[in-house]
A and B are shown apart, each in its own frame.
Chain A
Amino acid sequence: MNRATFPHKLLPYLLLAPQLAVTLIFFYWPAGQALKQSLLREDPFGLKTQFVGLANFKRVLADPAYVNSIKVTVVFSLATAFISMAIALLLAVQAEKIIRGKTLYRTLLIWPYAVAPAIAGMLWLFMFNPSFGTLAYPLRSMGINWDPLLNGPQAMILIVAAAAWKQISYNFLFFVAGLQAIPQTLIEAAAIDGARAARRFRTIVFPLLAPITFFLLVINTVYALFDTFGIIHAVTAGGPGKSTETLVYKVYNDGFVNLILGDSAAQSVILMAIVIALTALQFRYIERRVHYG
């Protein structure tokens, strides 16, 4: 489309200036520094620097602690995305089915969206903390040796629960929107052909939700990778041991706590590559979506 525009020489640059300034100072400059740093070796006091090529990357990728944190991240992200999306889909389908009270349910179900991830983590640790958590109490009386502060897998369960809980709202809203976009006539036709609710869901509703499910999978993975830093920092600090140390937490820990700058920068660059891949994936999907209407 040929857009009607205003003839002006200076004005557009002035309008763009604030955003460009912030972007260059706080995005491009630091990202460039991270790239540069990832190729250098610097001692913790910043006295000596030397160019080491890809040595930082080689060391990071060969480090068992890094491999461990990749595993932790994969388990954490998949579990969080799956649990949260499954619960949200179940609730969205129910909300479409009922006639009365839709708005009330929605109003209450969107609450966790407004809760900071770190606070979500604290809420769950408060309920399940081993010494006075009200919900840890029945677990212990059932004979389970519940202590997420000392037991790695239990710590993982706790942060997955908190991370998934927080994301239910978001997924719920998108699944509801997706369900409403499915033509009612398709479902009626199947019903007339004698397909029962479960079969209609499996053969019509779920396949038609595939694009939105895929979109949510990407979004939830990004969420689990990056936005959950607060949960981990506030609840487990990567522990016990390194059993909940995700990639982002490790970048922070190596850079700010352990002051291993080259390694931290190399990890940053690896994370950048992951984000770029995920963004590209998301945009490919958007193109496909336009195809299918």
Chain B
Amino acid sequence: MERTVGGAMITSRPHSRLIGHFLLVLGLIVVVFPIYYVFVASTHSLETILKPPLPLLPGGDFIANYREAFYGGIGRIGGVGVGTLLLNTTIMALGIALGKIVISIMSAYAIVFFRFPLRLVFFWIIFITLMLPIEVRILPTYKVMVDLNLIDTYAGLIVPLIASATATLLFRQFFMTVPNELIEAARIDGAGPWRFFKDILLPLSRTNIAALFVILFIYGWTQYLWPLLVTNSNSMNTIVIALRKMISFADADTQWHLVMVTCVLAILPPVLVVVLMQRWFVRGLVESEK
């Protein structure tokens, strides 16, 4: 409360706030315009798109373009429709988000609530993976995928990306703040590790899980290098990789209106997740990475 009063005392000059709004609106234009503009382009015909400048308002081909993208199949990527691409990407993003949450919550639980030989060794083994992003071990990881027959499979898209130190560290940090009394009380009541986990720890972790889910869903949805390597067939592509295949700035037969529809559909789901779960997302982001 004091904040607002204090803040108002200092910045009460209206013209300073006006400049603030002006700059923010300018920033918004820079930030939102590219996305808005792709939406506009997705509602125009190919001919209109190829004749600059493109109108600033949506055109009349919304239904025709979206129907073609969903049901007509897209020639450049072997006739695969946008529906398949969205499905693939959703499976990948959900698989990564849920998989990461499950395996990190399990290992954090083991590390914090049990004492066993080699506990710290295991913690460090997980912790060091922070320093091994996929980009630094591309080729050998690819070889492992080939040996395990995981090319062009959902497991291949998901499993190698679900191990991460960040989620484990986050849960570990949170678990360490759980008071000892809770565990002792649970044990006196005869609750075993599973009951304690299910009835006490999991409900306490709800907000952390929600925040992490948003961050990891976006992470999974926006992956590029990994799906590029482990998918060959067009029908296993994620939507981002398919977009790359659909576009050629050099030659003339790129179907830009369909590219634009695909672009909008590739942007929309993660934006919705971020905007609708904004409260958890912002908290989780700022807290988990600090």
Task: State the majority secondary structure of interface residues on B.
Answer: helix
User: Which chain B residue has the least Cβ–Cβ distance from A267?
Assistant: B136
Known: A11-B193, A197-B16. A33 touches B140 (CB 8 A): yes
Q: What's the Cα separation between A15 and B119 when bound, in Å?
A: 12
Q: Is the CB of A108 within 8 A of B28?
A: yes
Q: Is the CB of A116 within 8 A of B274?
A: no
Q: Is the CB of A109 within 8 A of B35?
A: no
Q: Mark B103-139, 1 if CB is under 8 A from A, else 0.
A: 1101101111111100100100110011111011111
Return chain B residues, CB-CB under 8 Å to A105: 24, 28
Return chain A residues, CB-CB under 8 Å to B282: 106, 110, 173
* Residue in A27, A229, A252 whose CB lies within 8 Å of B163: A27
Q: Is the CB of A134 within 8 A of B53?
A: yes
How far apart are B10's CB and chain A's nearest CB, in angstroms? 5
A20 at the interface (CB under 8 A from B): yes
B228 at the interface (CB under 8 A from A): yes
Q: What's the Cα separation between A263 and B154 when bound, in Å?
A: 31
Instruction: State the interface size on chain A (CB cutoff 8 A).
Output: 105
How far apart are A38's CB and chain B's nearest CB, in angstroms? 10
Q: What's the Cα separation between A265 and B112 when bound, in Å?
A: 37
Q: What's the Cα separation between A95 and B11 when bound, in Å?
A: 12
Return chain B residues, CB-CB under 8 Å to A31: 132, 136-137, 140
Stretch of A48-56, A64-72, A74-82, A270-278 contacting B (4+ beta carbons < 8 Å): A270-278
Q: What's the Cα separation between A252 and B138 when bound, in Å?
A: 7
Q: Is the CB of B23 within 8 A of A94?
A: yes
* Residue in A6, A26, A115, A268 whose CB lies within 8 Å of B196: A6
* Residue in B103, B116, B222 whose CB lies within 8 Å of A13: B116
B71 at the interface (CB under 8 A from A): no
User: Which chain A residue has the least Cβ–Cβ distance from B129?
Assistant: A27
**Interface-centre pick from B24, B132, B267 (highest chain A CB count, 10 A):** B24
Q: What's the Cα separation between A33 and B285 when bound, in Å?
A: 34
Return chain B residues, CB-CB under 8 Å to A95: 20, 24
Q: Is the CB of A34 within 8 A of B139?
A: yes
Q: Is the CB of A117 within 8 A of B224?
A: yes
Q: Is the CB of B106 within 8 A of A261?
A: no
Q: What's the Cα separation between A252 and B50 when bound, in Å?
A: 33
Tell me the A248-263 residues at the B interface (CB within 8 Å). Answer: 248, 251-252, 255-256, 261
How far apart are B250's CB and chain A's nearest CB, in angstroms? 8
Return chain B residues, CB-CB under 8 Å to A16: 106-107, 110-111, 122
Q: Is the CB of B183 within 8 A of A108?
A: no
Q: Is the CB of B106 within 8 A of A4?
A: no
Return chain B residues, CB-CB under 8 Å to A269: 136
4 tightest A-B CB contacts, nearest first = A230-B224, A33-B140, A116-B222, A30-B140
Beyond the given A8-B114, A19-B104, A165-B34, please list 20 additional residue pairs across the A-B interface where CB-CB is below 8 A: A3-B176, A5-B115, A6-B196, A16-B106, A16-B107, A27-B129, A29-B144, A31-B136, A90-B23, A91-B24, A96-B7, A97-B16, A109-B31, A112-B35, A115-B222, A116-B240, A116-B270, A132-B49, A169-B31, A187-B6
